[in-house]
Structure 1
Amino acid sequence: MTPELRTPRLAALASAPPRPVPPPAGAAERCELCAAPLHDAHRHLLDLEKGELLCACGACSVLFDGQAAGGRHYRLIPDRRRELTGFRLDGPLWAGLGIPVDLAFFSVSGTGEVTARYPSPAGALHADVHAGSWRRLAEANPFLAELRPDVEALVVHRARDAAEHWILPIDDCYRLTALLREHWTGFTGGEAVWHHIGAFFTELRTAQAATEEMRGTR
């Protein structure tokens, strides 16, 4: 089932930075599993049955920190963000995926089905990706086998001569989708939305560089 993309939760994600930040002082944000206050940066769970994101406290995140921990109901969304340097995606490979625009994200379900989501003048659309086309892409880029079902996605941004290829947590992808819905105008999106898209990837790269620098100092 395609997650609902018009909820207040996704609208909030659209304006958030790549990593969750602490709520303002006095905010009443709470864990949506145990109702504990969320005072620090927190993780999200994906409700597989409803296709919704849930805010989770540290204790609940630990409980669901495992591929099978949530059974068929919940999955902890990982916090890794990986820029794919040297990603192989030529014109024929892209055409085979059947996406009519040059910005999309691709997620794999637990049953191996691949779904693409992409913007359009009518809003966010989704399409099933042919298994053979995805297999050819994965053969050209073997690390796609590491994509975690349901909770991670391959993000491709080829529009306007961009060359962004990332593996991102699915909450980042929902945030990008909500950003597109908020700022997209007309048939081509308008200049404002492309500015916001560029800022989205710049923030990702800045956050990744900061993480790598921190790890290098340990």
Structure 2
Amino acid sequence: MSPSGNGLRILQRIASERPKPVVGERCDMCAVPIADAHQHVVNVQDRQLMCVCRGCYLLFTDEKAELRFRAVPERYLSFPNFELAPGRWDELQIPVGLAFVFRNSLLAKTVAFYPGPAGATESELPLDAWDGVLAVNPALGQLSADTEALLLRVPEHGEGDPECYLVPIDACYQLVGELRQVWRGFDGGQDARRVIDTFFDDVRARSRVAKEPT
């Protein structure tokens, strides 16, 4: 066999033994491959959502520990007795009928995000107005800081009852991402409303009724 033939065989063997590139997502912590459906942890200091494997997720599930990273729980709760007094939504200074509210433990404040054409807009809630909501809805106090959110929706033109659910924070960012792709104008348009309706149908199906404090 000619030297050039030997060289070709060597190159072919090297190519066949070379590790194939990994397709798909990897854990942001340990770099192992993860499925499309995976869990998340929150980097509390950087306010960053991280995609992780099951093993890394379980390292940060202790809610009482003072950790930089916190696992995002998977619970969904509904509040069928949720009350929102007339005019209270305006006092919260949220310009659209949908928002998610969470507690930022690092800054020790409650903030709201609402969707728009540029994604999620952050708004620090007026303390007195939000305290008024909590006073008549004490069950909302079981919200875990940083990792869970209260998903709020008020009906258009005052028709119907307001809705409130406790959901994982990553579900809220998923909704924001979907809305950003279809949002048109100030109120989002018909496509955005369809996305919101579908999302809330899924949340209702996943949710169990929250226990009222005794």
Q: TM-score range by the shorter chain?
A: 0.7 to 0.9
Q: CA deviation at 1:119?
A: 2.3
- 2:92 is the alignment partner of 1:93: no
Q: After TM superposition, list the pairs within 5 Å mapping 1:154-173 onto structure 2.
A: 154-160=150-156, 161=159, 163-173=162-172
**In the alignment, what sits opposite 1:194?**
193
Contact preservation (8 Å) 1:29, 1:37: yes
1:28 Cα offset (Å)? 3.2
Q: CA separation of 1:55/1:121 partners in 2, compared to 1, >3 Å: closer, same or farther?
A: closer
Report SS of the residue matched to 2:197.
helix
> What do residues 84-128 of structure 1 show as CA deviations (whole Å, max 9, x unaligned)?
111011223222212122111111111531111112355432111
Q: CA separation in 1, counterparts of 2:53 and 2:129?
A: 39
Greater strand proportion: 2
SS at 1:65's partner residue?
coil
CA distance, structure 1, for counterparts of residue 152 and residue 113 of structure 2: 11
Aligned-residue CA RMSD (Å): 2.2
8 Å CA contact 1:184–1:193 kept in 2: the answer is yes
Q: Which residue of 2 aligns with 1:83?
A: 78
Q: Identity percentage over the alignment?
A: 35
Rounded to whole Å, the distance in 1 between the matches of 2:24 and 2:187 is: 39
Going from structure 1 to structure 2, the CA distance change for 1:158 and 1:124 (only over 3 Å counts) comes to: same
Can you list the C-alpha shifts for 1:190-213, whole angstroms capped at 9, x where unaligned? 11110111001112223347xx9x
Question: Separation in 2 of the partners of 1:167 and 1:202?
Answer: 14
* Cα distance in 1, alignment partners of residues 37 and 142 from structure 2: 26
Which sections of structure 1, spanning at least 5 residues, go unmatched?
A: 1-25, 213-218
Give the TM-score taking structure 1 as reference length.
Answer: 0.76
